[in-house]
Chains A and B, each alone.
Chain A
């Protein structure tokens, strides 16, 4: 049994079936419960762990349908529209779901109905089971008003009016009820009775298409898993070809017999359905895993889903092979991304600004090329290597804005032989807060021929009396 602190008192938040049999119920204070039954086994309620456990069950429920949503903090809604026949009808499917979860030690009640609200209400307050189509209203009628999941004051108001069950409520004319308790009550009622159907919002995005393989005997050997994955990739390739599409993001889900689900995602720079290259990407991904794919007692279902698909027409190979080359480079980028991660394979994007901190951005090379803004063509030399953030240095320079004569960087003193500047770059006042000093940039060369890009932060005598110097970059 679990306890939870409510308004300063320890109250029971969940009780086991034995405790329920002894007359304990959630909401009772712990002191009262102890007075009745002195040797209680009590643990503190951990909602976060509960949530994680529910998430895990929800992950596992993906094996029945891709449309799974959380219902409150202790329920799940599965949209099984069109799935029932795959598991031998709705009643059979319900039994299999219940048996599967009970094997993992989950106590549950399940109901199948025409709308998510009706099913949820029946599972929580009724006996569960399968509602024949169109008879939701009958089935929910004997349930108490509180099953409608309404605000506290509405329930109190309704029961004061003598309306105890959903059936009582449904028998009243709707307009006065709406005037007294709001339209949401009627909406809720209609949905629970199955007159109005709203689809659930699945917790995971709906894949464009999926291929899956169920195993009568769980498989655990790495070669078997890879073989199964390869066959799935081929199946999916055929499916995508029939649709004239290619996938940009693929997800392989490995369902373990003990209910744990492991997912791997692979992304490609351009739509693809080539089984060889996709197979290689998944191999890279499997190899790069920090914690290897642990089969436990084996996987009994492997699913491959296309998360994002785009139109892919069979390419006409141009004779000069240019398109082919681009294809090869994209394949290389995909391979590197699969192994190293998106944020490690980069390309430059230039921005239309004079602020050296913002002028260049590194973006993942796997992303589509964004329309780059026109770049100021000022032809002023910029260093090959840049420091982010700029490195503080000590410099000796003429006031107010002469170039440095000598500076010290990383404990080495550099004598300046040639210098060019200042190139004055003011902060973008429309973007940043005030107080950021103007920068005077100098291109300097020391006596050994090393070239540096330095700046002085702040105008001498106007913005500061003791300006700081920084090194921002190194020229080749």
Chain B
């Protein structure tokens, strides 16, 4: 009697541990900034596919940074230091440089947690990322994608999204020089750099972005936020419109969160 009792108790304990280990696809993460969090209200899913677009070549570092920040936010609640896989093609090294360990650590990610996978062509990139996203022990997978190769079609994104939901690994698809194509991504963001709030002695401040939520499967309306990344607390901060520097907002650039979504830039590229 006593023995069976012990076994069932053990089973319960194990089931509890299993539940901790098996990530639930429904868990959501936040950005840490009040503005977007109120609008998104717990709809940013882990274990799902998110797309981040850069409108122009020059916006790529900003988009990479934003994607990395999102990945860190997604990892944040999961407690332990799970590794992150970043898949990128060789030629990107000459286009935008290669990720640097100290830059990554300046973003709040321990570089030891980053596994960099270099591939030759889009097919390999897709396969490597597909393998990585199945590994439930990873924190997130970042796939950097240039242009619009044919291999990344609706079927491919659906497969990635499905695997992500099974394993619970968040998948971030970083796209550059691309037109928005149909995909099954939960969210789609357009990221542009923004003039930072200068520090003392007119030094450039923390990374700042103009972030446009282009699409959300849960039906959240399109929005624009000005966000700043704080690597110490690993969270975003709203930039209030008034604290923006008075210097030169170039014509055609959004001056605050009320501006219209700038889809023109997206069309121009590609």
Query: Which A residues form the contact surface with B (CB < 8 A)?
Result: 319-322, 324-329, 331-333, 335-336, 339-340, 344-350, 359-360, 362, 365, 369, 381-388, 412, 417-420, 443-445, 447-451, 473-476
Residue of B nearest to A382 (CB): B102
B135 and A329 contact, CB distance less than 8 A: yes
Alpha-carbon separation in the docked complex, A64 to B84 (Å): 47
Q: B215 interface residue, CB < 8 Å from A?
A: no
B residues less than 8 Å from A321 (CB atoms): 17, 21
Q: Give the Cβ gap from B181 to chain A, nearest Cβ, in Å.
A: 25
Alpha-carbon separation in the docked complex, A319 to B203 (Å): 49
**B64, B131, B202, B208: the one within 8 Å of A335 (CB):** B131
Q: B207 interface residue, CB < 8 Å from A?
A: yes
Query: Which B residues form the contact surface with A (CB < 8 A)?
Result: 17, 20-21, 58-62, 64-66, 68, 80, 82-83, 85, 93, 96-104, 106-107, 111-112, 114-119, 124, 127-128, 131-132, 135-138, 192-196, 198-199, 201-205, 207-208, 210, 229, 247-248, 250, 253
B residues less than 8 Å from A359 (CB atoms): 101-102
Residue of A nearest to B113 (CB): A347
A449 and B196 contact, CB distance less than 8 A: yes
Alpha-carbon separation in the docked complex, A384 to B112 (Å): 15
Alpha-carbon separation in the docked complex, A344 to B85 (Å): 12
A residues less than 8 Å from B83 (CB atoms): 329
**B82, B195, B199: the one within 8 Å of A417 (CB):** B195
B204 and A360 contact, CB distance less than 8 A: no
Residue of A nearest to B58 (CB): A450
Counting from the closest, the 10 A-B pairs by CB-CB distance are: A476-B65, A420-B203, A385-B97, A348-B101, A325-B137, A384-B103, A449-B193, A382-B102, A328-B137, A445-B204
B residues less than 8 Å from A451 (CB atoms): 61, 193, 196, 204, 207
A476 and B117 contact, CB distance less than 8 A: no
Alpha-carbon separation in the docked complex, A369 to B66 (Å): 29
Q: Do A336 and B131 form a contact, CB below 8 Å, given A362-B116, A420-B203?
A: yes
B135 and A475 contact, CB distance less than 8 A: no
B residues less than 8 Å from A387 (CB atoms): 97
**B62, B135, B248: the one within 8 Å of A447 (CB):** B248
**B61, B112, B128, B132: the one within 8 Å of A450 (CB):** B61
**B20, B100, B111: the one within 8 Å of A473 (CB):** B100
Alpha-carbon separation in the docked complex, A412 to B56 (Å): 13
Q: Give the Cβ gap from A371 to chain B, nearest Cβ, in Å.
A: 12
Q: Give the Cβ gap from A72 to chain B, nearest Cβ, in Å.
A: 43
B residues less than 8 Å from A336 (CB atoms): 117, 128, 131-132
Q: Give the Cβ gap from B56 to chain A, nearest Cβ, in Å.
A: 10
Q: Do A328 and B97 form a contact, CB below 8 Å, given A336-B128, A359-B102, A450-B58?
A: no
B residues less than 8 Å from A322 (CB atoms): 80
A476 and B137 contact, CB distance less than 8 A: no
A382 and B103 contact, CB distance less than 8 A: yes
Q: What 16 additional pairs, Cβ within 8 angstroms, besides A340-B118, A348-B116, A449-B192?
A: A328-B135, A340-B124, A347-B112, A347-B114, A348-B112, A350-B111, A384-B68, A385-B103, A386-B98, A417-B195, A418-B195, A418-B203, A420-B204, A445-B196, A447-B195, A449-B193
A residues less than 8 Å from B196 (CB atoms): 418, 445, 449, 451
B17 and A344 contact, CB distance less than 8 A: no
Residue of A nearest to B90 (CB): A344
A344 and B137 contact, CB distance less than 8 A: no
